[in-house]
Chains A and B, each alone.
Chain A
Amino acid sequence: MVVETGFSSPRTDAFPAGLRVLVVDDDPTWLKILEKMLKKCFYEVTTCCLAREALNLLRQRKDGYDIVISDVNMPDMDGFKLLEHVGLEMDLPVIMMSVDGEIRRVMKGVQHGACDYLLKPIRMKELRNIWQHVFRKKIHEVRDIESMEGIESIHMARSGSELFDDGSFLGGEDTTSGRKRKDADNKRDDKDLGDPSSTKKARVVWTVDLHQKFVKAVNQIGYDKVGPKKILDLMNVPWLTRENVASHLQKYRLYLSRLQKEGDIKNSFMGMKHSDTPPKDSTAGSGIRNSINLTQDNVSNGSFSFPVNHTLAPSVDLKGHEGDRKGITSGPMTELKGPFPIDVSGPRKAKSSKISFDHSLGSVDSVVNFASFGPTDTAQYSWNEIPEIQFKQEYEPLQLENRFSQLPLPGLQHHMLPEYLQPAVSVSPGPSITEKEATSSGFEVKSMYDDYRSNHAKHSSQTEAVGESHSLNNQVFKSISTTTSSMKSQDTVPNHLTVSEFSPKNLYEGVGADDLQLCWPQGDCYATNFGLQGLDCTEHNNPATALETPFHLYDHPFDPTEYYASDQGLFA
């Protein structure tokens, strides 16, 4: 039973009044008492008697709560497990409760990341102080963001020129930083769907992509010898701080040890791979929501952005083309799916990326994702697969999308993945596309193009949720059209695209917001939305095969390359 008090803006000025608390306890008597107590403290209370329900609530509104209070013993899920999930996915402070005050139990709670452990019967004065945990975390996050910002700006300045040089943006630094910047901006802009408040919490979002890098680094160093500094260096993510890595490492360690004990590791892999398959998160809607929320914070390429996306237009069939995607942006495809009003009848791929968190995998899944990310990079990126249909070549969808996903677009979020772009290669030359188009057509597209050009398009304005889901793939566009994927043109270069692998650049180069509008074969043509009508798709020669299908709907020839270019800008 969930008693929703309604999500109002997170906090009023009279902090800590208005603190949004989620209470989870299977005992109805305690639930009633705690609710009353918290209300007396002028907190906003939501009660829940099942752990799974609580997770759903949290995922649906990623920033809808400030703190979680949970009982240790619950019928459907162990309180510690819930604690883990919340910590990994949402990074919210969690307080545990129990009538059992045994030291061992309390220690276990703290080990799992609880920021406090209360013994029942609970006094009201104990609840009055819980705001301190929220406040403390906020301070730390802000500090992280600020430090990140500084780094980002430096990167942004540098990144432009290199973007299109060669396709290997594996390093993705530029984009990352660009993206990160955007994320930070997004966070601040608070376009986040789930976060009504104007002050979005700044957290380092461990997107799938980022986490994957993390896991890779850990594996490289050797789990036993690992240390935050080493990991940080290997990861090569400029805006990430040592503290971010340290805390994430701690969580990861706990997680792994628990997995090993339970022997879930295998499952996790399964779960991960599964993400590609259509949807686990059949609840596309909710999935999107979740994902969106998740992604919002995603700084990185959107590994999480997927979540949002995947629910989006399934049409994006990202066929996995080559596994290169590893880690790169593969997610983007799914992103489109999301919020687009388009009725994506197509198979919704629950792009795995987020799936893990999405709920579809269940609590374990999310965890699993982490685990699986490491080893199964290919599997994961299945979502990234861009439908080859369009483009023969497989290119990694520009993760750009992911970034966009960050935009809270309520519907959109998902930037479509114009990711398919090919490695910067194509982009650079070209984006000739129509930057003009990008200008505005309504979609932020222009920003994309602009960025694209400049490569560094710092396009923070992306806020507009440019639907630029460059996902050239028609499928992708379907969703895009409706949602103005806020593609932010981040560093134009699809940094994350490992695209270099794909030769056909033309594929997405022009992808810009316009692309989003691509009429999906499914029939959703939002040509009107296309801001980039003017896009000069022709500029890039696409392998022809790729694009033809979807674009016939549009007036202008669809030039994937164009899209691609736009994407680039997004990630400026």
Chain B
Amino acid sequence: MERNPLRRQLQIMRKSLFDQGYLDEQFVQLEELQDESNPNFVEEVVTLYYRDSARLILNIEQALERKPYNFHKLDAYMHQFKGSSSSIGAKKVKAESTLFREYCKSGNGEGCMRCFQQLKKEYTTLRKKLEAYFQVARQAGPMETACRPK
């Protein structure tokens, strides 16, 4: 257990993200890529993800405003979004994406809409948690190599 209080806090936060299913193994992969040449690699990637995926979210939102739904297009957008979300290990967000695609395939417009609302919630929640996490991380200073979630 970390003696440094900040580091300890960081560890707790991190563990909770995994335990609660917000993040998966991919996040650990990112952490493993972090090194001296890229000390803030994980944060950079997450930032990039949120910036780029905002665009995709917007696309889907606009597509959902046009009735009747173009399921093919919606599916394509979500496919992209899912791929992107998988890059940072956003587990819950990814699960919602998969569900959304199922609704698209079955032509369930209602299901798509509901699912999308849920997805946005998860997406936003994760962002907040990660922002808080990185804030502490920056304060705590460089960590040792990532440790796998217990």
Contact = CB atoms under 8 A, between A and B. Distances in A.
A421 to B, nearest CB: 55
Contacts of A124: 29, 32-33
Interface residues of A, number: 18
Contacts, number: 54
B29 A123 contact: yes
A305 to B, nearest CB: 41
Interface string A18-59: 000000000111101100110010000000000000000000
Contacts of A30: 83-84, 87
B92 interface: no
Interface in B34-73: 38, 41, 44-45, 48-49, 52-53
A28 B49 CA distance: 8
A99 B86 contact: yes
Contact of B80 (A27, A33, A40): A27
A73 interface: yes
Given A29-B49, A121-B29, A36 B83 contact: no
B79 A29 contact: no
Nearest to B37: A39
B32 to A, nearest CB: 7
A101 to B, nearest CB: 11
B88 interface: yes
B26 interface: yes
A120 interface: yes
Given A27-B52, A29-B48, A29-B49, A120 B33 contact: no
Contacts of A29: 45, 48-49, 52-53, 84, 87-88
A378 interface: no
Contacts of A233: none
A32 B48 contact: yes
A99 B44 CA distance: 22
A555 interface: no
Contacts of A123: 29
Given A32-B44, A32-B48, A36-B41, A27 B29 contact: no
A121 B33 contact: no
A73 B83 contact: yes
B48 A28 contact: yes
B45 A32 contact: yes
Given A27-B83, A73-B83, A121-B89, 15 more contacts: A28-B48, A28-B52, A29-B48, A30-B84, A32-B44, A33-B45, A73-B80, A99-B79, A99-B83, A99-B86, A100-B79, A120-B83, A121-B86, A121-B87, A124-B29
Interface of B: 25-26, 29-30, 32-33, 38, 41, 44-45, 48-49, 52-53, 76, 79-80, 82-84, 86-89
Interface of A: 27-30, 32-33, 36-37, 40, 71, 73, 98-100, 120-121, 123-124
The list of the 3 closest CB pairs from A to B, nearest first, reads A99-B83, A121-B26, A29-B87
6 contacts: A27-B84, A27-B87, A29-B48, A33-B87, A100-B79, A124-B29
